[in-house]
Amino acid sequence: MSTIMKKKNAGFLPSIISIATANPPYTFTQEEAYKLSGYDDKKIKAIFLNSGIRKRHFFVRPADKVPNESVNELNARYKEGAVDTGARAISECLKNAGTKHIDFLAIVTCTGYLCPGLSSIYVKKLALNKSLQRTDIQGMGCAGALPALQRGWDHVRANSGSNALVTAVEICSAAYFIDSASDLSMETVIGNVICGDGGAAVLLGENHVEGMPYILGFHTEIFSDYIDSVGFSSIGGKLKIVLGKEIQNIAGKAARKAIEALLKKHSLKFKDIKRWIIHPGGRNVIVNIADELGLTRKELSASYEVLEEYGNMSSPTVLFVLKRIIDSTPLAEGELGIMLALGPGVAAEAALLRW
């Protein structure tokens, strides 16, 4: 991690100080994930093996009874996995930043429910500042990291000298549902094919860190006509993914509308954007967005790589893409980037970054 420059940025725009990711220690190839799932169908197996995903991380141990866990067992696995994975991401993020102090903590998750929430649990587990401000954000799915970042961004702008930690953590394997043979749903199959477990933490502040971007602003577009197309339903207390096939076809148009509005706010054009941090909701979703925006596979290479190595981890996934770009790509001073994720609502969430 580069040393922090002790000069506040122009206009007090918050900058990313540190970013870290974490996954459960248990890794499964797509072949292993198929065997674990309990399916026995050659067509479904072919979908697993031709998804553009090579492996995924699940918080699943040999003793777990997947896919025959009770609601209580699923909830317990969600809590244990989310606490462990999120705490490791937070610890690494703060270590990289050289601080243990947090003024504001935002937690985003959608694959389980806890009360008290993860923010309280992390304060105790990691001995964080007991006077910090906090918020637990639920129900925003794959797009949740960006609204959480905006809450942290707002806090830093409103409280000079403060910082904000944003953490997105999902245990998608604890929201795993298997239809009955007589009621097989392809959207449930696709969810089981692509979803994985992971967490990411981002620290925001006023001081700039070399190689890290400022966040210039955000924009949201909600497409309420598709509100029933993405999310979770509850069947017998278990979460069942809702993933309408129409989403992969509207993803590009939704992305374009949000991005155009964000660029207009800042008097910019598409050609001004050099870095694309796009949430890989699935291979077809990436392709649809690329086609709509006229982006090449090379320009979206980080999204494809994260999908291949981790699958779709819901809310933290776009932060994995951001970290990959920061870690592996030479970034010129002044370069602009767009970060975008789609989630339930249907919502397109976008952020404008500047290095």
Closest CA to 33 of 3, 56, 64, 65: 56
Strand-strand pairing, 15-22 and 197-205: antiparallel
Same-domain pairing of 166 and 17: yes
Same-domain pairing of 290 and 327: yes
pLDDT averaged over 10-residue windows placed end to end, the chain, 355 residues = 40 90 96 90 93 95 83 95 98 96 97 96 96 95 96 96 97 85 76 95 93 96 87 84 79 95 97 96 92 95 97 97 92 93 94 97
- What pLDDT digit, counting tens, does each position of 74-120 carry? 999 999 999 999 999 999 999 999 999 999 999 999 999 999 999 99
- What pLDDT digit, counting tens, does each position of 186-234 carry? 888 888 999 999 999 999 999 888 899 999 999 999 999 888 888 888 8
Give every strand in the sheet of 133-138, ordered side by side.
133-138, 104-109, 164-171, 197-205, 15-22, 214-222, 347-354, 336-343, 273-278
Helix (H) or strand (E) holding 217: strand 214-222
Strand-strand pairing, 197-205 and 273-278: unpaired
CATH number for the domain that contains residue 321: 3.40.47.10
Span between the terminal Cα atoms of the chain, in Å: 16
Same-domain pairing of 349 and 320: yes
Q: What is the rounded CA–CA span in Å between residue 175 and residue 159?
A: 37
Structural domain that includes position 302: 214-354
Same-domain pairing of 201 and 218: no
Same-domain pairing of 245 and 116: no
Same-domain pairing of 140 and 261: no
Total number of domains constituting the chain: 2
